Structure 1
Amino acid sequence: MRVVLIGVSHWHTPFFLDPCLSLPDVTIVGVSDPILARAEPAAAKAGCKPFTDYREMCAALRPDFAFALARHCEMADLARFLIDQRIAFAMEKPCAINAAEASDIANRAAVAGVFAAVPYVIRYSPMIEIIRSNNESVQYCMFKFIGGMVDRYRQQQVDWVIDRKASGGGALLNLGVATFTRRPIRCSTCTIRSELRIITSPPGMTRPWKSSPMTASAGPARSS
């Protein structure tokens, strides 16, 4: 299988690049990033050519599959391009900057018959098996996802994550969506209460940083 990686300056690139390199029937034929210097290390590791334009890369290489990573504000256009080109892909969350864009992508992929997926790897977390192993109804459950300090985005040179215009919502969109879509507990008669916490920004931060824990309470729930 001929695979390309798009937007390799994303901090999740190693989660896709390294496993692909270990698979005997997968060849990474190209990587791209708008900043060439960010694409070159991944290209050197994969032994392929770096590109700055994913459209040019896909036209030249005609891959079988793409791992699509990008700024949130660019994801919908990237997904539409891959669908139009009939290139199967897995795209990093949240896939779009709002629900309308995400719905449009899903509909286009379905109509075109193009494989499209979002890799929520924590759905396979041991936490789910631990809950299931208790073999009891869950009366109360609270999940928190702590992604680290905000400054890590600056250190990794992905400051766009803390730019509301580019990311669409900072941590609430980037990390909060992960909590709600993993859903390791399927509730039957329980009540779901969503909480939004606003944390004071440290000096130098332009906006408050948000986190979104999910609380399920007031009734039995069962594992799924």
Structure 2
Amino acid sequence: MFKLGIVGAGIIGRDHSAAILRNEDCELVAVCDTVLERAEEIAAAHKAKSFTDYKEMCEQVELDAVILNLPHFLHHDVTVYFLEKGVNVLVEKPMAMSVEECDSMIAAAEKSGAKLAVGHVQRYYSAYEEIKKIKESGKLGELKMITEVRNVNYLPGRPKWFLDKKLSGGGIVMNYGAHTIDKIMYVSGEKVVEATSYLSNPLSDDNVEINAQILLKFTGNITATVTYCGCPDTRAYETVFYFTNGMAKAAGGSDFCVFENNQWVNYGGTTDLLYDQLVEFVKFLKGEESNIVTPEYGREVIAAIEKIYAD
């Protein structure tokens, strides 16, 4: 049984702890958060130890792996610390704030022999897994284009670090773009080679964007357009994959539909994102074939985001 620790006991940390509770291969033995009460709340359900300092947690508890749910600016340093201690790491997306940081994390994993994975969970929605199968089967011909539109009232409730580019690495592109790029790379099997973008923040003086219109070119002669609008209260979330003989459309979850033979066919699915990811992470730790996101892949996502910001 793998002894796991969690660093960062917010909403995502609680969800990770619930997934661990249901996995027979894992045991949560330690929880760390700068707010002790939050760590204690999660730890109590697992009879785990609580800490406010991740270094103390590492020194005092035997750990096989840690799950890091932290502000983006902490991803690199905390990941490298645990890797250098020989502890395997699953770090939430985005992997880091720059390709340079990603390279440093990969080097630390290679030097220590500890394993590093990145938490891109939306690939585990059954919609994207099924659309990937459609793409690989050739059922609808060749994949040529992708469009994604996502509207959300982005600013309310965000912590201060989220709205400071030095701490977050960017705005809606860094946050949601990491999901979008992963989904497209996962389904297509290709990577971003060019990016054109227009970014803005019409609602505040924060130095992060909340609106984005992006054109991406992928290897394999595939293109994608991505539109994020962080202004409206009305939500929209739709990703469409255009093939030579049909289309597949997902709405940000497990359900999706396919257009073939001049009609739409609806499909349902079930998804348990963090549990499914944990299953893959355990396989990764065991040295088995796994669908977990490798650090090299996570680096490609950050490289694509850097191309968007550089335009």
TM-score bin (small chain): 0.7 to 0.9
Is the CA contact 1:192–1:214 (under 8 Å) kept in the aligned structure 2? no
Amino acid at match of 2:148: F
Mapping 1:184-199, distance limit 5 Å: 184-186=187-189, 194-199=195-200
Mapping 1:3-82, distance limit 5 Å: 3-9=4-10, 11-82=11-82
Give the Cα–Cα distance (whole angstroms) in 1 for the partners of residues 77 and 14 of structure 2.
23
Mapping 1:28-177, distance limit 5 Å: 28-125=28-125, 126-130=127-131, 132-133=133-134, 134-144=139-149, 148-154=152-158, 158-177=159-178
Of structures 1 and 2, the one with the larger relative CO (CA 8 A, separation 6+) is: 2
SS at match of 1:16: helix
Give the Cα–Cα distance (whole angstroms) in 1 for the partners of residues 178 and 197 of structure 2.
12
Listed one character per residue, the Cα deviations across residues 59-100 of structure 1 (whole Å, up to 9, x for unaligned) are 111211110121111111101111111001111112322111
Is the CA contact 2:7–2:13 (under 8 Å) kept in the aligned structure 1? no
Is the CA contact 1:187–1:220 (under 8 Å) kept in the aligned structure 2? no
SS at match of 1:31: strand
TM-score (norm 2): 0.60
CA 1:104–1:131 in 2, change beyond 3 Å: closer, same or farther?
closer
Is the CA contact 1:144–1:214 (under 8 Å) kept in the aligned structure 2? no
Identity value in percent: 23
Moved more, 91-100 or 178-187: 178-187
Give the Cα–Cα distance (whole angstroms) in 2 for the partners of residues 76 and 85 of structure 1.
14
Is the CA contact 1:68–1:92 (under 8 Å) kept in the aligned structure 2? yes
Give the Cα–Cα distance (whole angstroms) in 2 for the partners of residues 177 and 160 of structure 1.
18
Give the Cα–Cα distance (whole angstroms) in 2 for the partners of residues 42 and 108 of structure 1.
29
TM-score (norm 1): 0.81
SS at match of 1:151: coil
CA 1:142–1:161 in 2, change beyond 3 Å: closer, same or farther?
same
CA 1:153–1:185 in 2, change beyond 3 Å: closer, same or farther?
farther
RMSD (Å), alpha carbons: 2.8
Give the Cα–Cα distance (whole angstroms) in 1 for the partners of residues 194 and 213 of structure 2.
11
Aligned residues: 213
Moved more, 119-128 or 66-75: 119-128
CA 1:108–1:193 in 2, change beyond 3 Å: closer, same or farther?
closer
Q: Which runs of 5+ in 2 are unaligned?
A: 223-242, 244-311
Q: Aligned-pair distance for 1:144?
A: 4.1
Q: Aligned-pair distance for 1:103?
A: 0.7
Q: Aligned-pair distance for 1:167?
A: 0.8
Q: Aligned-pair distance for 1:109?
A: 0.5
Q: Aligned-pair distance for 1:6?
A: 0.5
CA 1:122–1:61 in 2, change beyond 3 Å: closer, same or farther?
same
Amino acid at match of 1:117: A
CA 1:149–1:42 in 2, change beyond 3 Å: closer, same or farther?
farther
Listed one character per residue, the Cα deviations across residues 16-66 of structure 1 (whole Å, up to 9, x for unaligned) are 211101123321111111222332322233332221101101111121111
Q: Aligned-pair distance for 1:145?
A: 5.1
